[in-house]
Structures are given as structure tokens and as C-alpha cells.
Amino acid sequence: MKFQVMMEFDKDVLPALRKTPEEFASEIRFLAAAKWYDMGFVSQEKAAEIAGLSRLDFLLAISHIGITPFQYSADAVLAEVKDVR
């Protein structure tokens, strides 16, 4: 099942961003997926699907906006290493 989301923007938004409506919609999808992934709401696979990208392309794209592909914090990694010892 698919659904459509509609948003309204002032007419000067797209020229200011130098985007076509299609580019803007694609970027909004990607940024939403990236943020939801970063917040831990969705997996890499689901975020890539939302963004309309392959998983590899999604991971490469999020690296360009400063989002790490790793879903573990440094504290979580240290806690796991401590448990192994």
C-alpha cells in the first residue's frame, strides 16, 4: 500500500534552492529518511527504501551530511567490550 503526502511551500522556495519540484521532493524524502535513521526510528534498509536509494547509496549519501552509518554510541560499544572481557 502506498500513500501520498502533500506539502505547500511559497513559490520562491524552489528557485532559492535551485531545485526542480522533482529534485526537491527527492531531497525531502532522503533527508526525512536520514533523520529517522539517525534517530533510530528506522533501519538502514528501511531508510534506504524510504529515500528511494540502494542501501550502499544511502550510506554514502548520509556520510556527506554528517550522519554516521553506525547505530551504536561510543558508550554502547565500550559497554559491550567490557562485557566481553
d(CA 20, CA 40): 30
Instruction: Sort 31 into a burial class: Cβ within 10 Å, 0-12 / 13-18 / 19+.
Output: middle
Question: Whole-angstrom distance between the N-terminal and C-terminal Cα of the chain?
Answer: 47
| Residues of the domain holding 68 | 18-84
Q: Is residue 79 part of a domain?
A: yes
Q: Is residue 11 part of a domain?
A: no
Q: Is the dihedral of CA 61, 63, 66, 70 positive or negative?
A: positive
Average pLDDT, the chain: 90
CB contact at 8 A, 30 and 53: yes
- The total domain count for the chain is 1
Report pLDDT digits (tens) over 49-69. 999 999 999 999 999 999 988
What percentage of the chain exceeds 70 in pLDDT?
A: 95
Q: Is residue 12 part of a domain?
A: no
pTM: 0.79
Q: Residue 85 has what pLDDT?
A: 63
